Amino acid sequence: MKKNITYITYQTFPGRTANSVQTISSLKYFHREGFKCTLIYPLRNKESSKNINDLKSFYSFSEDIAIKATIHPLPFKKILVFEKYWYVLSHILWSYFTVKKYSKNNKDGLFFTRSEWVFYFLSKRRKKVVYECHQLSAMKKTLIRSSLKYPNSRLITLTSFLTEELSSSAPTKILELGSSYDSDFFYSEKDKEKNIVYAGSFFRFGETRGIEILINNLKNENNENLKFIFISPDAESLELFKEKIKSEKLNMKFEYFSNLNPREVGAILNKAKVGLLINNDSKHAELYSSPLKYFEYLASGLNIVATDLKTHRSLPFNENIIFYDSADITSFEQSLFIALNQETNLSNVSAYSTQSRVKKIINFCS
């Protein structure tokens, strides 16, 4: 008889955010480890779908994962003023009623969530639940500490900084585990083209990741043989960035891609030479981020040029990252030159695959 895992999340699907991609990838590998998987989420966007075939096509997977897409008669995405507050209220209400409805369906199995409110309500019902924490606020700290008092509740933190802030709660119930790459899509080709790739969004939480600084740094470059490839899930932001590049009349080649599935992204990264890891200096970027694209770059055999942040300095294989000062044009130019001309020599990258990550979670919950 198969073990059950029920993944309840206030995300919506399909979507090309890193969190959505990671959720589907995790469920795929839980399924391969012998779990019967169910994904429960709200239909809170007009792009949301309750058709499993839409998700399979969008994320390029074939595993039989059950989905239960719930209606969302709540104000978030319907009332645009004070959107942040409507999100919080809708999140709480959806979590409460969804947990109440579905917690009875998986009496002895494992629950998994990226929602602090789902974690809290499942913990109060003494369910076996794991919450994956990607950032912190005062409210999240309160909910996490309260939830961890229950015997069957466990926590996964992405970075050491998150762990340090929460370790006093219940250290034996916390597993520090960064992001991972999906080995179905990301692997290294032997024949590399000297392309420089940025894969990811241009904004997070409404703030720029600092990609405009890249444009300023490129103004001093005069090498028509350089080729930059930008891949973003946000077509609108990518188009704005594209227009900005055109207006600067930079003397190099550019290619732009949006709305690619993981297999298509992997095909581009696998043949590239350099991956750009760019972020701003917000608290989230500095302390809480474990970038999915970093692990995809690693698996694709890229030399990585990154902004100098604490979280980037704590990533695995950080000694091989070529760091630059975002305020120093010369620093960026030198980093690019090094990355384009050095060989990549990494081993044990498979330890950071999603398959390996899922096995660690299963052992943690055993």
- Tell me the pLDDT tens digit for each residue of 27-56: 999 999 999 999 999 998 888 999 999 999
Q: Give strand pairing partners of 322.
A: 305
Q: How confident is the model at residue 281 (pLDDT cuts 50, 70, 90)?
A: low
The region of weakest confidence among 40-49, 145-154, 197-206, 282-291 is 282-291
* 272: confidence class by pLDDT, cuts 50, 70, 90: very high
Neighbouring C-beta atoms of residue 248, cutoff 10 Å: 12
Which one of 1.10.10.410, 3.40.50.2000, 3.40.50.10490, 3.20.10.10 gives the CATH number of domain 3-177?
A: 3.40.50.2000
Higher pLDDT, 255 or 366: 255
Of 81 and 278, more confident: 278
Q: For residue 1, what pLDDT band results from cuts at 50, 70 and 90?
A: very low
E strand map for 187-341: 195-199, 203-204, 207-208, 222-232, 251-258, 274-277, 303-307, 322-324
Tokens of 94: 């959806």
Give pLDDT, residue 245: 80
When the pLDDT of each residue in the chain is averaged and rounded to a whole number, the result is 87
Report the C-alpha gap between 10 and 95 in whole angstroms.
8
Two structure tokens written together for 255: 């290619």
Q: Helix, strand, or coil here: 293?
A: helix
Task: Give the three-class secondary structure for 236.
Answer: helix
Q: Please report which confidence band the pLDDT of residue 77 belongs to, taking 50, 70 and 90 as the band edges.
A: low
Distance separating alpha carbons of residues 272 and 260, to the nearest angstrom: 16
Cα–Cα distance between 246 and 265 in angstroms, integer? Answer: 24
Question: In this predicted model, which residue has the larger pLDDT, 107 or 229?
Answer: 229
Q: Distances in Å between the alpha carbon of 232 and those of 47, 236, 238, 239, 358?
A: 17, 9, 6, 10, 26
Q: Which alpha helices (H) appear in 249-349, and where do they start and end?
A: 262-269, 283, 292-299, 310-313, 329-341
Q: What is the DSSP letter of 343?
A: P
Mean pLDDT of 137-154: 94
**Which residue bears the tokens 């990585």?**
304
Who wins on pLDDT, 225 or 177?
A: 177
pLDDT of residue 2: 63
Residue 205 reports pLDDT greater than 60: no
Range list for CATH 3.40.50.2000 in the chain: 3-177, 195-341
Sole residue written with tokens 């991609």: 21
181 — pLDDT class (breaks 50, 70, 90): very high
Strand, coil or helix: 308:
coil
Report d(CA 122, CA 96) in Å as an integer.
9
For residue 320, pLDDT over 70 is answered with yes
Q: Which tokens belong to 90?
A: 């809708």
* pLDDT value at residue 222: 61
Q: What percent of the chain has pLDDT over 70?
A: 90
CATH T-level topology, domain 195-341: Rossmann fold (3.40.50)
Q: How far apart are alpha carbons 132 and 158 in whole angstroms?
A: 8
Predicted TM-score of the model (pTM):
0.90
C-alpha–C-alpha distance, residues 364 and 34, integer Å:
16
Per-residue pLDDT for 116 more than 90?
yes
> pLDDT at position 325, please?
84
Mean pLDDT in residue range 101-115: 88
Q: Which residues contact 302 (CB under 8 A, 6 or more apart)?
A: 197, 269, 272, 273, 274, 275, 344
Confidence band, pLDDT 50/70/90 cuts, at residue 328: confident
